[in-house]
Amino acid sequence: MRGRPKTELVLSETEREQLTALTLRRKTAQALALRARIVLACAEGVDNKVVASRQRVTQQTVSK
């Protein structure tokens, strides 16, 4: 693994439910829904490069 090691992202069940709800609502702003999808993927332990390619964003966006 290259670069700095990332700390594990741990979400409570409530946080996970709220983020999932944001991704499913029709009224949620698309930028907010994208952020929620990125956070959920990172919490599952997926590598930043993989998350970036799946969400079609840059690696810098995911690392923020």
Query: pLDDT band at residue 7, thresholds of 50, 70 and 90?
Result: confident
pLDDT higher than threshold 80 for residue 1: no
**CA pair distance 30, 49, nearest whole angstrom:** 21
Q: Is the pTM of this model over 0.75?
A: yes
Higher pLDDT, 19 or 1: 19
Render pLDDT for 29-59 as a digit per residue (tens, 0 to 9): 999 999 999 999 999 989 999 999 999 999 9
**CA pair distance 34, 18, nearest whole angstrom:** 14
Query: pLDDT band at residue 28, thresholds of 50, 70 and 90?
Result: confident
**CA pair distance 49, 26, nearest whole angstrom:** 28
